[in-house]
Chain A
Amino acid sequence: EAGVTQSPTHLIKTRGQQATLRCSPISGHTSVYWYQQALGLGLQFLLWYDEGEERNRGNFPPRFSGRQFPNYSSELNVNALELEDSALYLCASSLGQVNTEAFFGQGTRLTVV
């Protein structure tokens, strides 16, 4: 069974540009979570989607947004990129609204130059 897959693996953008990151959850999982893992800061919660709806968001500015599609895959968009947005972006999925067993993807390494 395929795990959580994220694309692209690496992404290099210029300050001010927009980045789009994609996530495919494990088959049957309806909840998708996005986390940012910046150096020295640990994983910070970004967004939670379930059944196509945004259920919760962390303390990030509105230029971080996303959506969940009918097939439960998800997209994270970061507008007006700043150097501080350079980080590993991790997507996780779980069965419904039970985050005690969330499975993570390999992440997308975003570098803003």
Chain B
Amino acid sequence: QKEVEQDPGPLSVPEGAIVSLNCTYSNSAFQYFMWYRQYSRKGPELLMYTYSSGNKEDGRFTAQVDKSSKYISLFIRDSQPSDSATYLCAMMTFGNEKLTFGTGTRLTIIP
């Protein structure tokens, strides 16, 4: 079993829709949770990170962590064609600076 599971998609939604991207994990020691966006032929770009359970909002993006269920989500409101990319979740334990990534979800926003 992989430590981090992520639905690979692909996921296609119309412009303006709310997008929900999810990851589950098995290692209860994970403390930091990140979301990266990766455009084709580019390196991953950090969108946001959260520590422990709860919500964090940044513009159109909201990250949610539920440690009791070992489940994290990224919501994108008012989705734009420019949001079309692969979204990667990543996790780490403080003191072990190794990021463990999901395999990524390919998202397409249809104009």
Contact = CB atoms under 8 A, between A and B. Distances in A.
A33 B98 CA distance: 8
A92 B102 CA distance: 17
Contacts of A104: 36, 43-46
Contacts of A92: 43
A42 B96 contact: no
A56 B43 contact: no
A105 interface: yes
Nearest to B44: A104
Interface string B71-111: 00000000000000000101010001111111110000000
Contacts of A55: 97
B88 A43 contact: yes
A101 B49 contact: yes
Interface string A20-36: 00000000000101010
Nearest to B8: A40
A64 interface: no
Interface residues of B, number: 24
Contacts of B42: 106-107
* Chain A interface size range: 20 to 34
Interface string A86-100: 000010101001111
A100 B43 contact: no
Contacts of B21: none
- Candidate in A42, A45, A92 with the most chain B CB atoms within 10 angstroms: A42
B43 A43 contact: no
A35 B43 CA distance: 11
- Candidate in A44, A55, A102, A105 with the most chain B CB atoms within 10 angstroms: A102
Contacts of A99: 92, 97-99
A35 B44 CA distance: 11
14 contacts: A35-B99, A35-B101, A42-B101, A42-B103, A43-B101, A48-B97, A50-B97, A55-B97, A92-B43, A97-B97, A99-B97, A100-B49, A100-B92, A101-B49
